[in-house]
Amino acid sequence: MDRVVVTGIGVVSPVGLGAKVFWDNLLAGVCGIVPITRFDTTGYKAKLAGEVNDFRAEEFMDKREARRMDRYCQFAVAAARMAVTDAAADFAADADTVGAYIGSGIGGILTLEAEHQKLLERGPGRVSPFFIPMMISNMASGVVSMIFGIRGASLCQVSACASGAHAVGEAFLAIRRGDLTACLAGGAEAAITPLALAGFSNMTALSSAGDPALGLLPFDKRRAGFIMGEGAGVLMIESLERARARGARIYCEIVGYGATSDAYHITSPDPEGAGAARAMTLAMTQAGLAPQEIAYINAHGTGTPLNDAVETTAVHRAMGEAAAQVAMSSTKSMTGHLLGAAGGVEAAASVLTVYEDVMPPTIHYEEPDPACDLDCVPNTARRAPVRAAFSNSFGFGGHNASLLFQKYEA
């Protein structure tokens, strides 16, 4: 089986575009959660979001192409282009074995809402002929394949907030098996829309705080819901043989991936944390790593009362006594919850944690909760050796994904 390494990172996030800006701002504890500017939030309980306000699609693609893409797809293309540039990758020699696995939990909901409004106000003849290809969730992976001329498997994982992590994990397995030599893998989402905000808010998933400093509070006793975010995270991953042959810079190695189902409830996690714990255990077993060898976990950490406590329970189940030593922070405290893009963006943060030996913080943490008794790297980034790190993502429907990254050793 081929070893699999990460050679490129592309990020579109509420705390910056590109891996360097994103990473620098995470370590500085910059909060990208702001009052929503896209539409009038009068009458909404939730009024904050992690908006990407410095994105210009034409900087990454042709203007005409951009007009035929939903915002989530534009994010995916931009992140993929950044990952390819970062990796100094070329696909001329092996395009048939390079894939694009880009997940999205919701896809083109911005387009759906706009075109539905046209239908109601102006009739069926005014609905765009590009409506369907702009809306469907698989178009990000399809368009990325077209732009780079890569003809390996082009897939879209749709597993709610685990979509991006599942995409990276499944790409890892495909390369490990030898089905692909390389893959652009991650997730993209742009769901800060009136309908999506109303839906998430009315199911009482969102924080109703008006102050960004009180919005998304992972592991804090005051936590009261998540804040929606948007963006994309795409990794360039490839077989070690391919990376070595072209002299690529290697960030780290992907060594484990666990995917399980809670089989419990459509939105709530299993309160025992069994499925999440099993995903972590599967990843460790695949990697051949013991719990005490893992220094850091980039948590799912959504800031909801139940999720954070259940994830803490899951870590205790999976890691046993080693849980007392592991650090587990939530970068969602800075970015908001990027839904289907979260797994891709947080995988990028985990890769950089292993590469740089620095753990990003959980910001705005003030009141400890006995139900969340792990070290959450409160408020300030921490420099420490990180041989291996988890990235956890859990989605509505009981979908669990755990990725395990390890420092590259030749």
Residues marked active site are found at: 161, 300, 337
Q: How far apart are CA 142 and CA 34, in angstroms?
A: 32
Q: How far apart are CA 135 and CA 113, in angstroms?
A: 10
- Which residue from 387, 408, 218 is spatially nearest to 306, judged by alpha carbons? 218
Q: Per DSSP, which regions of 283-326 are E strands?
A: 296-298
* Residue 280, C-beta contacts closer than 8 angstroms, at least 6 positions apart: 258, 314, 315, 318, 319, 390, 392, 402
**Side chain identity at 133, as an amino acid letter?**
P
Distances (CA, A) of 211 to 46, 48, 114: 11, 8, 29
**Side chain identity at 361, as an amino acid letter?**
P
Q: How far apart are CA 203 and CA 396, in angstroms?
A: 12
The tokens describing 203, both together, are 């199911």
* Residue 207, C-beta contacts closer than 8 angstroms, at least 6 positions apart: 46, 48, 214, 215, 216, 217, 223, 224, 225, 226, 227, 303
Quick check: helix, strand or coil at residue 117?
Answer: helix
